[in-house]
């Protein structure tokens, strides 16, 4: 597609419910990032994939958070047993190559998760 697509755009979950957030990166992009943006804050890194390999998951806040990219394209961020502090906008970004090789990361519009 023309850009990074995320679905759903909005998700309301009851506390304790599991959720799955989807990211469709730009076709052919090697790198994929997930970020969490709390209200009034900057995005915070969650995890990074290069193709299907999850090279960095140091930002995942707990073992309730899990991300996968099994075929090196679409990625899913799963949050188990959601809690109120998980409420945030979850941003996905992709880049053609690792950003240090002078390419830019393109961000999706995000999924706004509200846990009630």
Partner 1 sequence: AQSVTQLGSHVSVSEGALVLLRCNYSSSVPPYLFWYVQYPNQGLQLLLKYTTGATLVKGINGFEAEFKKSETSFHLTKPSAHMSDAAEYFCAVSESGNQFYFGTGTSLTVIP
For partner 1, the binding residues (CB under 8 A) are 4, 31, 33, 35, 40-45, 48, 50, 55-56, 59, 91, 93, 98-102, 104-110
Minimum CB–partner distance for residue 48 and partner 1 (Å): 5
Nearer to partner 1, 18 or 44 (CB): 44
Nearer to partner 1, 82 or 111 (CB): 111
Minimum CB–partner distance for residue 90 and partner 1 (Å): 11
What the block records as the tokens of 30 is: 């090697």
Residue pair 55/106 in contact by the 8 Å Cβ criterion? no
Residue 109 makes CB contacts below 8 A (sequence gap 6+) with 6, 9
Nearer to partner 1, 1 or 14 (CB): 1
Minimum CB–partner distance for residue 9 and partner 1 (Å): 9
């Amino acid at each position: 597609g023309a850009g990074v697509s995320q679905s759903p755009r909005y998700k309301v979950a009851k506390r304790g419910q599991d959720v799955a957030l989807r990211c469709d990166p730009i076709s052919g992009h090697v790198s994929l990032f997930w970020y969490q943006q709390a209200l009034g804050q900057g995005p915070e890194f969650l995890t990074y994939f290069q193709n299907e390999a999850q090279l960095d998951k140091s930002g995942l806040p707990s073992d309730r958070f899990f991300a996968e990219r099994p075929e090196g394209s679409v990625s899913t961020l799963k949050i188990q047993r959601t809690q109120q502090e998980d409420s945030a906008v979850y941003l996905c970004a992709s880049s053609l190559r690792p950003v240090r090789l002078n390419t830019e990361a393109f961000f999706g519009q995000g999924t706004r998760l509200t846990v009630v």
